[in-house]
Amino acid sequence: MNIYSATLEDLEHYFESIDEKKFKAIQVYDWLYKKRVKSFKKMSNIKKTVIDTLARDFTISQPKIIAKQIGKDVFKYLFELDDKAKVEAVLMIHNYGNSLCVSTQVGCNMGCAFCESGRRKKKRNLEPSEMVSQILLIEEDLNIRISHVVLMGIGEPFDNYENVMKFIKIVNCGKGIDIGARHITVSTCGIVPKIKEFAKENLQVNLAISLHAPNDELRNRLMKINKVYKLEELIKAVKEYIVQTNRRVTFEYIMLKDINDSKKCALELAYLLKGLNAYVNLIPYNETSHIDFKKANEDRIMEFYDVLKKNKINVTVRKEFGSEVSAACGQLRSNYEEEN
């Protein structure tokens, strides 16, 4: 097993299983995540026999950075994994901190009509270690600390549920990377049973729902998942989530020109979300060369915003990042693979 896939608890159990004190897990975490060493040999306060056992039972290996694009306030990385599969991560420099958009799968099976990642089928899930390493490698490359993590890169986090929960535990652990739960956001296209399961995890992590349409007719056209879990069912699950966790939910809404950007859509959306402890994030669409959708005009976006505001819906327009660095989810990977 790759050691970056182990939660602190996993390591504690491991040390107990080899008749060692479980506090050694904290020492190992300290070496990996505070001191950032990449070899067991360097863990100098752990005795040689234990180091040898660790090296027998675990690997310490990380993906490779194979491409990097730099824009204004944005860095985009392409990683090659052990099996040569490729995923990307995007770092955004905000005034409140450094936020990393992490990939959770190689490709995606959700097949959203506007999404570059969905054009290419899922090859496999990412291991926790492969998600953790996106953070570690970028922090090392830029010599910075990442303060926020959003699971909005390639893949559907709730289609890789177990590994994503492990990843969250590892990243959130105070003895390790120590990113606060409230600084972590999981985004889903709306896999209802997993939203229900997530509500029971008792985490302070943020949940974002990719909504993108205020009615089934339109959402069916944009997002295949809506044919499985209709809006009514989705909104009901979100309501239950809010009651159970007492946390506010974000709805993401990409603004697509002449598709979902009308005043009528805004009114329908306001009606759909009325009374919910929710927050709408209007996202200017990142156009990609393989897909026909266009970005909504700015005045249309502002008009949409105003309708929501007037109807007492909390709403913001997301700052645009990285249109100069092919920042649309999955674009760098597609460009790279199609060129090579």
Residue of 129, 188, 226, 260 interacting with ligand SAH (CB under 6 A): 188
Stretch that binds ligand SAH, among 32-40, 41-49, 182-190, 233-241 (CB under 6 A): 182-190
**Given 265, 268, 329, 339, which residue is catalytic?**
329
Does position 254 bind ligand SAH by CB under 6 A?
yes
- d(Cα 283, Cα 288) in Å, to the nearest integer? 15
Taking alpha carbons only, the member of 173, 153, 73, 209 closest to residue 329 is: 153
Our answer to whether residue 88 is catalytic in this structure is yes
What is the CA 323 to chain-centroid distance, rounded?
A: 19
Three-class SS state of 173: coil
Closest separation between CB of residue 288 and ligand SAH, Å? 6
Phi, psi torsion values for 106, nearest 5 degrees: -90, 100
Member of 28, 54, 100, 152 binding ligand SAH (CB under 6 A): 152
CB of 202 to ligand SAH, least distance (A): 22
Nearer to ligand SAH, 112 or 192 (CB): 112
How many Å apart are CA 272 and CA 290, to the nearest integer?
32
Q: What is the dihedral of CA 220, 224, 228, 230, to 10 degrees?
A: -30
Q: Take residue 34 and report the two structure tokens written for it.
A: 């505070």
The reply on whether position 92 binds ligand SAH by CB under 6 A is no
- As measured in angstroms, the least distance from the Cβ of 209 to ligand SAH is 7
Residues near ligand SAH (CB under 6 A), total: 18
Euclidean distance between the first and the last CA atom of the chain, given in angstroms as a whole number? 31
Please pick, from the candidates 46, 89, 189, 282, the single residue that binds ligand SAH as defined by CB under 6 A. Answer: 189
Say whether residue 100 binds ligand SAH (CB under 6 A). Answer: no
Is 184 among the residues that bind ligand SAH (CB under 6 A)? Answer: no
Whole-number Å distance between alpha carbons of 121 and 106: 8
Please give the residues from 275 up to 334 whose contact with ligand SAH meets the rule CB under 6 A: 283, 285-286, 288, 328-329
Beta bridge partners of 98: 93
Q: Which of residues 50-89 bind ligand SAH (CB under 6 A)?
A: none
Output 119 or 239, the one with its CB closest to ligand SAH.
119
Nearer of residues 272 and 283 to ligand SAH, judged by Cβ: 283
Helix (H) or strand (E) holding 210: strand 206-210
Instruction: Single out the residue of 206, 210, 245, 335 in contact with ligand SAH (rule: CB under 6 A).
Output: 210
Give me the least distance between CB of 124 and ligand SAH, in Å please. 16
The phi, psi pair for 297, rounded to 5°, reads -65, 150
CA–CA distance, 304 with 220 (Å, rounded to integer)? 21
105 to 144: interface string for ligand SAH, x by CB under 6 A: -----x-x-xx-----------------------------
Please identify which of the residues 88, 116, 156, 252 carries the catalytic annotation. 88
Tell me how far, at minimum, the Cβ of 21 lies from ligand SAH, in Å: 40
Helix axes 263-272, 298-310, angle to 10 degrees: 40
Q: Does residue 329 carry a catalytic annotation?
A: yes
**Which residues, 6+ apart, have CB-to-CB distance to 229 below 8 Å?**
190, 191, 192, 237
Query: Nearest Cα to 13, choosing from 48, 49, 57, 46?
Result: 57
Closest C-alpha to 77, from 97, 94, 102: 102
**Residues contributing to the site for ligand SAH (CB under 6 A):** 110, 112, 114-115, 152, 156, 187-189, 210, 252, 254, 283, 285-286, 288, 328-329
Catalytic positions: 88, 329
